[in-house]
Structure 1
Amino acid sequence: MRCICIEINCDFSPLKEQLIKSLNNISVEVNKGLSALEENNYCLLGELAKIKETFEKAEAVAASFYLNCYLSPFTDKYLDISTCIQHLSIKRHGALIVIERKDQIDSFIRAGTAIGAKLTHSLLESIFYPGNPLHDGAVLVRANQIFSAANVLPLSNILVGEKKLGTRHRAAIGLSEKSDALVLVVSEETGKVSFAMDGEIHPIITTSSLLV
């Protein structure tokens, strides 16, 4: 994960503890792989699969930790945002949430419907409820407010391997390529959560005890 050059001065203890545990697990699996290489008749493919899985889990934990670190300087509502994406993930309600940081993004988006309301997780969840007229675009968060909803973001043409990403993920990456905004995505197909920043997208864990 490529980290943005900002001062990280936060302490989300459960996430930090889980990240340390994940890194230790990687070390254990790598050492098992090295030991397996010394056995001539041992197939290493199984160990490599375990190492890959352990790396993926560590990446998700690390992304979740840094997500909260990146959010906290720009909004006091990161716990509400975390709660919201946890609930949306469980229900598999698709969502696209833009957290504006230093760059104003007005010139990069097609503006939707003005909201101008204090951010709460329940209000944010209700916007993305299927059938809500505003659920299909992106919500823009400025500081502690839901500034607007149903915004249209620029699409990226990025590919992951040979597969093209879905519209929400392309929109998240597209805006993050043009600004320093952090964009959260909840997939309605899988319930998986990711965030885009600086033109890259990262999966995050959605276990409530670790998000908060």
Structure 2
Amino acid sequence: MTKTAHIVLGAPTDNAVFPSPRTEDIVIGVDRGAIECLSRGITVTTAVGDFDSISTEEKANLKASADSYIEHDADKDDTDAEIALSLAVKDETVSQISVYNWSGGRLDHLLSILYMVYQPRFIDRIGSIKLINETNTINFYHPGDYTIVKEESKTYLSFVGMTAIEKLTLKKVKYPLDNKSYHYPVALVSNEFLKEECRFSFEKGILAVIQSGDKQKERISIRD
């Protein structure tokens, strides 16, 4: 059985989504994300961050409730999200990593999350990392041949190369491609599934695949 590390960041509450972890999963609450988990009855395995956005009372509650509490100085080289992802990557029992609430705040924070997965220390695990927010999921792929399934409530499908991409083929989608190469980063957006599955392949580069839907009025919980 797969074990998922759920990394819950502290995006604005109006845009937040939260996991429904299984017994074998772990939850890494990052700064205010840890408090938001506890307020929803989600057990926090590890709370990590500089905790500069929570009160003294909230911090005391977090120390008493989380299985592990790791506080870092605000002046540090890594972001809180990078520290959390490092913890998940180093756990050899974890096979999937889901990151929640990485958008809705500062633009520089959003970009740091999107680029974070391409760091050499994380690149070998890139295929196990998924980014989740209210209307999007992002998965990352090394070169290969893949079949993916359409997610419920997701209409749009985008293929984004943060690197040059060689011989990209898209099948069973509204706008197919056949062995198309791009010698620059490219975002092929607003494609769509023709049925419940599509296939894609490429021979060089790193590809992000995004499934997107329209904004829902109610917050959602997600179980991997």
Provide TM-score, normalisation by structure 2: 0.26
Between Structure 1 and Structure 2, the one with more strand by share is 2
Higher relative contact order (CA 8 A, sep 6+): 1
Between Structure 1 and Structure 2, the one with more helix by share is 1
Provide TM-score, normalisation by structure 1: 0.27
